[in-house]
Amino acid sequence: MESTENEVRIRFRSNNFVPDNTGRVPIGDYAIEQIPSTDNSEAILVFEAEPGPLPKDMFFNLVKLEANYFLSFLSLISLSNCEFQAGLWNKENIVTLERKYVLSKKPFNFEAAKEHYSRFCSLSDEQRKRLVNACKRYRQAVSIYDREPVVSFFLLVVAIECLSNSMDIRESDVAWTLYESFYGSKFKRNRSRRIPSSVKFVEFICKYLPTGVLAAEGEIDLLKKRLLSAYFIRNSFVHDGEDLPSPVSMADFLGRRSIVYVAPRDDKRIEIRAPAMLWLERIVVNALIGYLTKESGDRVQSSVFRDLAREAGTYAMKLRKPHPAIEKYQDIVGDFAKTYFEGDD
């Protein structure tokens, strides 16, 4: 089959399979083509795109974005993961200049690990549990840097929230002018109810960042605006499903702490200082290490991770009555769970 002048051809992979003899299936302005594949798990998405006056690299980014929007829709409708693999426009590769987040390779510092482990063992039970959750969210964030940066960004914020949401803070501890100028009049009306999670997020980081790191960030109000902007982006992902704003990766590309853009919110337009992902990761790590350093004490307890692992698998299950007696550490087999666990069939 001959290609048209502005044809885009996107190869994608799915956990589903394309049935034999499918050929070409039109879906609105798009089409799916069967291609040779050992397990029929790959196919071609075909559509047309006209570059117009756009520079080629910008046009290619838009083409890939459009393709991923369609593949996301197809994933939902087909109950599968349709993953972008590669693409051509007019037989030209559209992803040759793609930038990705990567972790740098460096030697382990085991002496620092020993020192921080001793501090970790001196924390209270609740502090240890929350800090381990923060560590898990950080590890998840950096493990998917290159594949899902918006989820990485969200998880970096959540890593702090594992601790900041339990932060003991009074209204008198907060300088509210900056928050009111960022969020607008509605924030003033809602503030009387409780300290918002976004405020706790910012105040936690500013409290626990090591002195040298905090000083290097310069003007404290700009630091807080960058952190509030990170929380705004987190909310946009959680509540509206928005992608990671392009200014975030642009800030990383330019080697800056943030790039400013304006976004609509309720009845006003707010200034977002979109923080670079790598900057946010550095701030999160330093704040968590700062928390560990400041909150550690003299008490030492061994086997802390073993204890946490045991607690993590413990749940008070509700059982249907009547049920037989259960011994501690009894192995719950499938038939027992199926018969006696309370739930919705």
Q: Is 301 domain-assigned?
A: no
Q: Express each pLDDT in 57-90 by its tens digit.
A: 889 989 999 999 999 999 999 999 999 999 999 8
Which residues on adjacent β-strands are paired with residue 111?
none
The DSSP secondary-structure symbol of 16 reads: S
Q: How many CB atoms lie within 10 A of CB 243?
A: 14
Residue 319 structure tokens: 């059982």
Q: Give the end of a domain, one of 68, 93, 118.
A: 93
Number of domains present in the structure of the chain: 2
* Dist. CA 306–CA 249, nearest whole Å: 39
pTM for the model stands at 0.85
Q: Express each pLDDT in 18-47 by its tens digit.
A: 998 899 999 999 999 999 988 999 999 999
Q: Which residue has the higher pLDDT, 98 or 15?
A: 15
Q: Is 229 domain-assigned?
A: yes
On the question of pLDDT at 270 being above 60, the answer is yes
* Dist. CA 259–CA 96, nearest whole Å: 25
Residues 185 and 38 grouped into a single domain:
no
Contact 203, 178 (CB under 8 A): no
Q: How confident is the model over 105-120, as a mean pLDDT? A: 89
Residues 75 and 213 grouped into a single domain:
no
Q: Among 187-191, 213-217, 304-308, which is the least confidently predicted range? A: 187-191
Residue 283 structure tokens: 């701030």
Residues 267 and 194 grouped into a single domain:
yes
Domain region containing 260: 110-295
Residues 12 and 89 grouped into a single domain:
yes
Residues 141 and 253 grouped into a single domain:
yes
